[in-house]
Structure 1
Amino acid sequence: MTLLPKDNINPVQLNEAEGNQLFPVFIKLNNLHTVLIGAGKVGLEKLTTVLNNSPFAKVTVIAKEILPEVHQLAAEYGKVIIINKTFDEYDLDGADIVIAATNDNDLNTYIRQAARDRKLLINIADKPELCDFYLGSVVKKGDLKIAISTNGKSPTVAKRIKEYLNKEIPDEIDITLQQMNELRNSLNGDFASKVQQLNEATAVLTERKAPAPNKLYLRWLIWLTSVSCITIALLSLWFKEPAFQLYLRELDPVFYYFLVAGFIFSMIDGAIGMSYGVTSTTFSLSMGIPPASASMAVHLSEVMSNGIAGWMHYRMGNVNWKLFKLLLIPGIIGAVTGAYLLSSLEHYSQYSKPFVSLYTLILGGVILSKAFNNKPKKSADKIKKIGLLGLGGGFIDAVGGGGWGSIVLSSLIAGGRNPRFSLGTVKLSRFFIALMSSLTFVTMLKNAHWDAVAGLIIGSALASPIAARISNKISTKVIMVSVGIIVILISLKSIVTFITKVI
């Protein structure tokens, strides 16, 4: 709650003053008597605001017409009294704070004069110039409370700032406050000594710790392994033909198809933050590429992009290392197992392809549903079995050619984990998942479709620097709807074709 100066300052001076001249204070309404005149929608809003901040406040509501919701609040809060009558100036006798929430200007003027005669502070709804104080937007996290004021200029802006702070300030901040209070109560000595001890105890909050020794080599590990994967792909192309230059001149047109496709799919992924794996796999299957080769192409092309993204998240401090360790080993085991199984079935690709198409069909439906469902989900209890989630995510990702982000990241966020740390952790772990599954595919596959693989790798690499810049200039919903429909149609075509051949 914020108070305005009263009659001892010239109103002209206030009008000429620049900026917000309000003096913020927090009032103990539980110890005061508040009189609220009006019990319509505005009165209900004012009463709700008061009780949300001070549940034990003594409030007397005076009005001729009273909403049922006001009676419900009075029943829930024992110190709320409702008087069904026309307001009289003597109703303010014994009051400490006055709030007028009527739509009658003459009545509001009468109430304000009655309050001034008794030297009471008054708030009049939607009349900033007549108010002694405002009921500002309040952010509350346990014992932490932040009041927001726009000097009465725009309650909507104050509301939006409140929503932002509510989202960004974690609920766990209250635990920090309780621990600081316990620390404060345990200190001994005079005031100066206590301040010094608190400064020493809280200094760690502002210190920048150097990265742990084992993490200093993370950047080089990412770069070296990325180069190694690309080298493996190039060597595979080299040994496929005796003369590499001749091979380049006689390059299969499939390479160019996948070059363009990799560029487009990477741009889509940069715009909507998902779907690279499912679009690439769906396209590969439609071009006659077996599931194992399609998945290998996707994972090889993702090694460098996820390595760079993971490194950036690491530099920005967005990695939860405990969560990373819980995901990494099970994720690698699942990815290697899935890659080994899919590679072993390469000779039976005509039978495994429909199952992968069914998987991409489901992911296409997920993309389409997300395009029309933008409502934030309520946080549930945090997922406990992180290892099992990583194992399943890694396996399905390798078998289906994508899905690590869709499965693992979505599950972590839906389970109540911080989106920023979840994204950074999943991106970094994805680098190792893609690396290990790619190495498994390269080792297992004898007749990989390297033309398609090379095209997809180079195409996605060319698009990566551009995708981030245009991501905010494209309609995300339009892209998601288009991608979802295309993936569903192509997957259905593949499934129908298989069924037709069998029949």
Structure 2
Amino acid sequence: MHEESFPEVQGGGSLILAWQIRNKRVLVVAAGRILHVLNADAKVTVVSPREGLNPEVAYRIEKGQVDYIDRKFEPSDLDNVDMVLTAVDDPDASTQIWKLCKERKVPANIADVPPECDFYFGSVHRDGPLQIMVSTNGKGPRMANIIRRSIVENLPPNAGEAISKVGRLREMLRKVAPAPEEGPKRMAWMVKVSDAYSLEDFCEMDEEDMKMLLTFYAPDEVPQLSSLKKQRDKS
């Protein structure tokens, strides 16, 4: 075994994940990144005196997008909670919430206090199913925004739509070849399809094109899109 064939460990990072929190219960104290968790289909409860609400939080409450408790945080608010986000001006109060979360093993993000965060939000770009996050591990949020904008400027404008089409094709393929033993072949064929077609090709595809393409799964072939459309027109 050659050591030089393995990447060097670089400590001090964080594990960047796409955390599925659909229907998870998220407690937001005072204010916070409400839109991030709403976009992830979480069940959000806001605890804050009404005079402490920022305009966006007040709007979300008015529209019924979150549950609302008009008072200061109480320890009982942590009952049956899966995640906590806080943005409280009082450092002592923030630390107390953090300690309670640690006792109950509830992951928490204490705004602007990196040592009291189990996770960071980073700077996020969203285009349909495509999500890109740049994290500085809490050290430079402004720099994360600058780097994220630079990345987005170089992304194709139709990337999100193309990914949606790929996702739809994968769903259809699982219906054509549902058996577990087909898994490796399904994966290998989708790799071929992803390599053979451009983002523009995927965006151009409709449901009938995908149905025709799936007829090439059994022989393990991937025709060019122009050839696929010609065959579709003949059928």
TM-score (norm 2): 0.69
Is 1:58 aligned to 2:50, yes or no?
Answer: no
**RMSD over aligned Cα, in angstroms?**
2.2
Counterparts of 2:86 and 2:22 in 1: how far apart (Å)? 19
Per chain length, whose mean CA-contact separation is higher, i.e. which structure has more relative contact order (CA < 8 Å, sep 6+)? 1
Residue among 161, 167, 170 paired with 2:147: 161
Q: 1:36, 1:62 within 8 Å by CA — same for their partners in 2?
A: yes
The alignment covers a number of residue pairs equal to: 182
**1:203/1:84 CA distance change after superposition, 3 Å:** closer
**Pairing 1:81-480 to 2, within 5 Å after superposition:** 81-187=67-173, 188=177, 190-204=182-196
Deviation at 1:31, TM superposition (A): 1.4
List gaps (5 residues or longer) in structure 1.
1-16, 207-503
Deviation at 1:106, TM superposition (A): 0.7
Q: Deviations over 1:263-311 (max 9, x none)?
A: xxxxxxxxxxxxxxxxxxxxxxxxxxxxxxxxxxxxxxxxxxxxxxxxx
Say which SS state the counterpart of residue 164 (structure 1) adopts: helix
Q: 1:142, 1:171 within 8 Å by CA — same for their partners in 2?
A: no
Counterparts of 1:18 and 1:149 in 2: how far apart (Å)? 15
Q: Deviations over 1:227-269 (max 9, x none)?
A: xxxxxxxxxxxxxxxxxxxxxxxxxxxxxxxxxxxxxxxxxxx
Q: Deviations over 1:296-337 (max 9, x none)?
A: xxxxxxxxxxxxxxxxxxxxxxxxxxxxxxxxxxxxxxxxxx
Deviation at 1:172, TM superposition (A): 1.1
Aligned to 1:260: none
Counterparts of 2:20 and 2:192 in 1: how far apart (Å)? 33
Say which SS state the counterpart of residue 168 (structure 2) adopts: helix
Instruction: Tell me whether 168-177 or 83-92 shows the greater mean CA deviation.
Output: 168-177
Deviation at 1:118, TM superposition (A): 1.2
Aligned to 2:13: 21
Q: Deviations over 1:57-80 (max 9, x none)?
A: 21111122223432212223x340
List gaps (5 residues or longer) in structure 2.
1-8, 199-235
Q: 2:75, 2:100 within 8 Å by CA — same for their partners in 1?
A: yes
Aligned AA (2:46): V
Deviation at 1:205, TM superposition (A): 5.0
**1:182/1:58 CA distance change after superposition, 3 Å:** closer
Counterparts of 2:28 and 2:168 in 1: how far apart (Å)? 38
Deviation at 1:165, TM superposition (A): 2.6
TM-score (norm 1): 0.34
Counterparts of 2:156 and 2:58 in 1: how far apart (Å)? 34
More helix by share: 1
Deviation at 1:157, TM superposition (A): 1.2
Aligned to 1:75: 62
**1:160/1:62 CA distance change after superposition, 3 Å:** same
**1:82/1:175 CA distance change after superposition, 3 Å:** same
Deviation at 1:117, TM superposition (A): 1.7
Of structures 1 and 2, the larger Rg is shown by 1
Q: Deviations over 1:439-469 (max 9, x none)?
A: xxxxxxxxxxxxxxxxxxxxxxxxxxxxxxx
Q: State, as a whole percentage, how many aligned pairs show the same letter.
A: 32
Say which SS state the counterpart of residue 157 (structure 2) adopts: coil
Q: 2:109, 2:117 within 8 Å by CA — same for their partners in 1?
A: yes
Counterparts of 1:88 and 1:29 in 2: how far apart (Å)? 23
Structure 1 segments of 4+ aligned residues over 6 angstroms from their partners: none
Counterparts of 1:182 and 1:83 in 2: how far apart (Å)? 40
